[in-house]
Structures are given as C-alpha cells and as structure tokens.
Amino acid sequence: MTTLSEKMSDQSTRQVSKRVSQSVFDGSPLRVVLLVDVNDGAQQQFLEAYEQLCNQVAQVPGHVSDQLCQSIENPSQWLITSEWESAPPFLTWVNSEEHVHMVEPLHSCVRDTRSLRFHIVRETGGESAGAAPRRRLQASPRIGDGVIRHALTFTVRPGSEEKVAKILAGYASPQARVDETTRLCRTSLFMHGNRVVRAIEVRGDLLAALRHVARQPEVRAVEEAINPYLEQERDLGDQESARVFFTRAALPAVHHVTADELAEGERQALYYPARPDCGMRLAELLAQQDEAAAGDPDSPVLRSTIFQRDDVVVRLVDVRPGAGARAPLPEPGRQAALSTLLDGEPVGMDLVTDRRSPDA
C-alpha cells in the first residue's frame, strides 16, 4: 500500500523561499473558485450565459477545465471551478478587456459573486495507466503574515493632478474595524503624472473591507469629488458602472517578499512602464531580483510587493530609513536585464498619503 508521504515524496515539487509569502510565479497549477448567488427565477438564464462563457474560455491559453455546480440546498447558489496551467495565464485573461465584456451576460442575472484563487499544493489520483504526467507542485506551503495586499489604479485628466492629489490627501480615515475578523491595516496612495495607485493592506476578508470602505461617507465624498477628473467615466450609483470601473482599476499583488529584518521602513513606490504584452514577464523578473535581495543584509529593501495588471507594473517597497530616494531602483547590471521589457525608465512615484491603523 502506498502511503501519503510516499506519494508526496514521489511528486514533482518545487521548493519555495520562506521569505516569499505570496507569488504567482512558482509554476503550480491554479484552481479558481467562483461563488455565485443567482437572482430569483434567473437560473436558466444563468445556465445559458455560463454555457456561452464556457465555450469562449475554453479557447483561452492556459485554461485546462471547468465545472459548474448547483447547491442541493439552495438552487440560487452556484459554484464555478476552473483549473489553469498556472496563475499568470489566468491573471492575464481575467485582467483583460476581453474578460470584462465576456462576463457581462453573467452579471446581468446574479446578485453577488466571490472569486477565490488557489495554487494546487497536493493532489491525489492520476495513478492509472494513461494518466496525464504528474505536475510541478510546491514542496511546502507558503507562510504568510495574515495580511492581504491589493491595489487600485486609475488615471485622471492631464492638468488635474494637483487638484486630485489635494482631494485624495485631505479626507478623514474610515473606521479601521470592519467586523470581528476583518480590519484595515494600511492605505498608501501614490501618484506619477496622471496615474493614481492606492495600495491597501487588510487582515481578514478583503472583499468585506472593500465594501466597508465604499460605504463610508467620507470615502464616498472623495470618490464623488474626483469623478469630474477621471479619464474613465463612472457612476458609482449604478451597480454595473461601478463594477466595470473597479474591475478595470484592480491592480493585483503578484509577489510579496520580506527580509529577515522586521524593522519599520520608509514606504516608496516605483512605476515600471512595460512594453506591450511584457507586464507579466517584467513583474516576474522584478520578483526574482527582490527574492535574491531579501537574503542580502546590505540591501536597503525590507519588504517588497509587486502589483501588475496588463502593462502597468508597480513595486511598493519599504526601505531602511535614510537609505536614499533611489535605493529601491535596480543596480546598473540588473537594469540591463529589464531594458528589453521596459518602455521607458522606472520612476519613483510621489507619496500622497500613507495611513496606518494604530493597532495594525
């Protein structure tokens, strides 16, 4: 009889750095779980929309398979699971304009959705003759710090940057406590030219925290105040308009690394203009460099989070105090490796506000 430990040792695995708590670049297969609450009486409409979407997704590079499940207790609750060769092809698709338009028929018949994404660390089965080759899996789980990192990015009309920065810097912080299990830890807002990047750190449920922030009167007032200056128009009073805006604005964290030293640092952000279709590869190269630097006691970087969507790549770093404004930029030798992926020089973004919860 084959034991579980024998199966695990026999699997193709990949060691991961203990300093890296989050990364989409380890090559593991990805399982995506979508929880869906369908409008009453719209089950058949939802099924037809799914079948149309399923045929389109099957053509997306990196897609392996999917399943649609309906609750045996509540027919309004559905579960969609899909498997992908790895995280990068899924993120490339889910962050594309193609995806925004592809899922429109689904959203017209649902009340709520929740997306969860998991690397496959262990699996059973596949022992029979003719089964697919065993896949590359992590040898050990990642050890996180309990913080979820996410960012939003959007652009404002040229010439309005100073007004927008003043609006975004002047609002009162929302209540940090969301519920018994979720709280806001930190919000850092940067600008470069007319691009705004808002990075948030949350303990608990990210979706609950985002909804909590969106309901706060002081935040709603700021969002309304910057509406006239946005390049992409939106109506936050219209659910579909708000959904599309925030879908396009999402800037996911694709890698996070922490050096052994746990000292507090000065927060900086760098914007890397990627060449068309090079954003994911650029983010991966930056992740590799940060992972190597995390073990260097002379490196000024204490923590680094890389955010990427399409050709927008932002590196949020905490550096040792007094390390210098350009400390997070790559060394000349490493800059050469990035040059083929960059459409211009990486630049430091201007800090607009950096707010932390007192008990974060």
DSSP of 194-254: TEEEEEEEEES-HHHHHHHHHH-HHHHHHHHHHGGGBSS---TTSHHHHHHHHHHHEEEEE
d(CA 360, CA 355): 11
Q: What is the pLDDT of residue 360?
A: 58
Nearest in space to 82 (alpha carbons), one of 99, 97, 104 = 99
Low-confidence ranges of the chain (pLDDT < 50): 1-14, 128-131
pLDDT at position 124 = 79
Q: Do residues 9 and 122 lie in contact, with contact meaning Cβ atoms separated by under 8 Å?
A: no
CA distances from 123 to 5, 119, 141 (A): 12, 11, 14
Encoded tokens for 285: 């190269």
> Pairing relation of β-strands 147-155 and 195-203?
antiparallel
Which of 81, 83, 90 is CA-nearest to residue 61?
90
Among the listed residues 99, 118, 117, the one whose alpha carbon sits nearest the alpha carbon of residue 107:
99
Residue 86 · residue 30 · CB < 8 Å = yes
Task: Taking the CA atoms of 332, 278, 155 and 186 in sequence, report the sign of the dihedral they define.
Answer: negative
CA 353 to chain CA mean position, Å: 21
Q: What span, in angstroms and rounded, lies between the C-alpha atoms of 206 and 246?
A: 14
Q: CA-to-CA distance for 52 and 81, rounded, in angstroms?
A: 16
Amino acid at 323: A
pLDDT score recorded for residue 44? 93
Do residues 328 and 249 touch, judged by C-beta distance below 8 A?
Answer: no
Residue 105: predicted pLDDT: 87
**pLDDT tens-digit profile of 175-205?**
888 888 999 999 999 999 999 999 999 999 9
| Residue 216 Cα distances to 208, 210, 221, 222, angstroms | 13, 10, 9, 10
Q: Cβ(83)–Cβ(100) under 8 Å?
A: no
The terminus-to-terminus CA distance of the chain in angstroms comes to 49
Q: CA dihedral in degrees (325, 327, 329, 331; nearest 10)?
A: 140
What pLDDT was estimated at residue 224? 92
- DSSP annotation string for 302-332: EEEEEEEETTEEEEEEEE-TTS-TTTTSPPH
Q: Which two tokens stand for residue 93?
A: 């698709």
Q: What is the pLDDT, as a whole number, of residue 333?
A: 58
Global pTM value: 0.88
Spell out the residues 6+ positions from residue 38 whose beta carbon is closer than 8 angstroms to its own.
46, 76, 77, 78, 109, 110, 111
pLDDT at 9: 36
Q: What is the pLDDT of residue 331?
A: 59
pLDDT at 6: 36
